[in-house]
Amino acid sequence: MYASLGTCPDIAYAVGILSKFNEKPGLVHWNTLKRVYAYLAGTRDLKLTFGAHQADLTGYADADGSMHEDRKAISGYAYIIDGTAVSWSSKQQEIIALSTTEAEYVAATHATKEALWLRSLINEIFEKFSCPITLFGDNQSAIALTKNHARNTSTYDSILSVGLSKKEKSN
């Protein structure tokens, strides 16, 4: 788990799925774990390095479209500074998205919250960071939804109702 969180973000998804079976792993889980170890052994000489000579903060967000048994999408993001990943996440969404657009929109929302936090961290530690932060996504409908403030009513109501029901559960 430490390797996926601290030094090898590329195995975070596999480790997250395997961790669901800690209590009673089967043969398929052990074989998958062996493949993760083989991957780590094959990439042990590779490392993350700074040096792309770009000091801008760039983000990438994506979601898998809820093809799992519980219908919850896996969303993730990565932020790059100077050619190196400085912040990343891959986790199951808390909601069941009604469409791939909604799943991608939720992923972009979480990525945007991380961008705001990274900006405040950079401002606190270094100098004032005033450059725009670029967030890349691959779903054209979700991109259009983030750009268009006059949202499609049914999509917006769906996302809003998910947010409200989540608040009710926490109370």
- Model pTM score: 0.65
SS3 label, residue 85: strand
Count CA atoms within 13 Å of residue 97 on its CB side.
22
Whole-angstrom Cα distance, residue 140 to residue 102?
A: 12
Average confidence (pLDDT) per 10 residues, the chain, 171 residues:
67 82 86 90 77 74 76 88 83 84 89 92 82 87 76 51 42 41
Whole-angstrom Cα distance, residue 43 to residue 141?
A: 36
